[in-house]
Amino acid sequence: MSTSEQVPAEPRAPMSLSPSRASDFMQCPLLYRFRVIDRLPEKPSEAATRGTLVHAVLERLFDDPAVERTAPRARAMVPGQWDRLLESKPELGELFAEDPEGERLAGWLGEAERLVERWFTLEDPTRLEPAERELFVETELDSGLRLRGVIDRIDVAPSGDVRIVDYKTGKAPRPEYRDGALFQMTFYALVVWRLRRVIPRRLQLVYLGSGEVLTYDPVEADLLRVERKLLALWDAIRLATETGDWRPRPTKLCGWCDHQAVCPEFGGTPPVYPLKIVSVRPPESGDSGQGRMDLAPPAP
């Protein structure tokens, strides 16, 4: 089935929060709704797919003995990992459907190889033995909010110090935008802290696009701050879910959005809201006067 023929998955109410979806809501609540509740299909992009490919190579490289973790070896892994990616997600072949001679694909693979090679100027994999790679993590806060995500790499020093590492195939942000870049990392640090009762010693963002490494050493106050931010964010998401009020927030990023055709900012009309609001009881003594509202799926 081609991307253009895909149909949305079954709608559902939000159940948990990841760094990506949290960023979606902060960027544009309507985008969050389209992705999490409506689950509208999106076209694969060359940039995002290249990032997935590079991540796969850097993860698999650690399967080899330390002495074999060389730049030529990693570079040579790119075509094979692309084949594996195509096998698991055949729809990615659409990216180069109009490239009969394979010139665009060759250039795209070449850029992935250059990004992989640049990593060796930033870290030495022969001296690293990651404790975890592509680790799925999930925890539930005391409030009931469930946090989840996938961490690229966790290193644990002999002293027990934990370092969380994330690879980025783009360029490092300017200093004024670094707080936003670190949001994902402090999110992961909070999850690791809640799971292992250890505050990560270092958070490290490796930017392969510009050949820079951004580090931050969190303290408990940082993690409590991000926890408060996530709780406030989740309250806003729950309110929007209950009211169906998902307002677009126009930014320069709108130009890259797949959902312009159904966005009011571009003259479109969103799909009918797939979650129905049902009042299950009238206001009682001590209520705010609004009564309690619960979500129910629309009637079949």
**What pLDDT is attached to residue 186?**
97
pLDDT at 72: 98
184: nearest Cα among 211, 214, 208, 157: 214
Condensed to tens digits (0 to 9), the pLDDT of residues 191-230 reads 999 999 999 999 999 999 999 999 999 999 999 999 999 9
Q: Does the pLDDT at position 272 exceed 90?
A: yes
As a whole number, mean pLDDT of residues 237-255 equals: 94
- Res. 3: pLDDT tops 70: no
To the nearest 5 percent, what fractions of the chain are helix, strand and coil?
Answer: 45, 15, 35
Distance CA 25, CA 35 (A): 10
Burial code (b: 16+ CB inside 10 Å, e: under 16) for 51-72 equals bbbbbbbbbbbeeeeeeebeee
| Other CB atoms within 10 A of residue 38 CB | 22
Backbone angles phi, psi at 133, to 5 degrees: -135, 135
**Three-class DSSP category at 48:** helix
Q: Are the beta carbons of 155 and 131 closer than 8 angstroms?
A: yes
Give me the percent of the chain exceeding a pLDDT of 90: 82
Residue 140 has pLDDT above 80, yes or no: yes
Q: For 13-30, what is the mean pLDDT? A: 96
